[in-house]
Amino acid sequence: MGRPKQFDPDAAVEKAVEIFWCKGYGGTTPQDLVDGLGVGKGSLYNTFTSKQALFEKALRRYGDRRVAGLVEVLEGSGPVRERLRAALERLVDTGLSDPYRRGCLAVNTAAEPAGADPALGEIVRSVFDRMEAAFQAAIEEGRRHGEIDADRDPREAASLLLSTAIGMSVVAKTADRPDRLRRVVDAVLATL
């Protein structure tokens, strides 16, 4: 009962992702949210309580999507090595083709002072953990299929892939010459 909401909170979170992704947590103002979500300030705070609470929802949603995208590519068909290449190249391509150079919201948050907040840090950590686990699963599959050297420790390799992916997200933001990122992909795949 009571008056029904005149907007879709779910869609609003979706829009919030874009705004926070562009401006960062600290750089986003209530006015940015009001303009971007198209809802009044009263509704905004009535629904989401605070800027941070909304950001937590947005970051979680972003992270889930990112992880799902990575898992989808890594669990695809074809040789594992090619799937790993596809996953990394997707990172590079989407990073470089983004006109706003937003990088990765999870990485940006980790680097921001906001990342020191326990709740936000935990969300970021969870994203990183799931990405690493996805890499590790792929590498183990490749090892079982004899595509990847059995000497290679999958945990080690997965940690390297995670760190590399994070580093590439940052490098992509500097709008550096694209060849640097292509080299990184080649280099890290050559090691497997």
Partner DNA sequence: CATATTTTGTACCTGTAGGTCAAGAAAGGA
Partner DNA sequence: TCCTTTCTTGACCTACAGGTACAAAATATG
Residue 155 binding: pick among a copy of itself, DNA, none (C-beta 5-8 Å cut-off by kind): a copy of itself
The reply on whether position 77 binds DNA by CB under 7 A is: no
**Angle at alpha carbon of residue 120, lines to 123 and 27, rounded to 5°:** 125
φ, ψ at 84 (rounded to 5°): -65, -40
Token duo for residue 187? 């280099």
Of 47 and 159, the one with the shorter C-beta distance to a copy of itself is: 159
The reply on whether position 56 binds a copy of itself by CB under 8 A is: no
The reply on whether position 22 binds DNA by CB under 7 A is: no
The reply on whether position 29 binds a copy of itself by CB under 8 A is: no
Find the part of the chain contacting DNA (CB under 7 A) among 3-11, 133-141, 171-179, 181-189.
Answer: 3-11
Residue found by looking up tokens 């997200």 in the block: 169
Residue 115 binding: pick among a copy of itself, DNA, none (C-beta 5-8 Å cut-off by kind): a copy of itself
HSE-CB at 105 with a 13 A cutoff on CA atoms is: 28
CA distance 148 to 110: 32
Return the exposure string of 12-30: e unless at least 16 CB atoms fall within 10 Å of the residue's CB, then b: bbebbbebbbebbbeebee
Of 78 and 118, the one with the shorter C-beta distance to a copy of itself is: 118
Of 80 and 109, the one with the shorter C-beta distance to a copy of itself is: 109
Binding mask 151-170 for a copy of itself (x = CB under 8 A): --x-xxx-xx-xxxxxxx-x
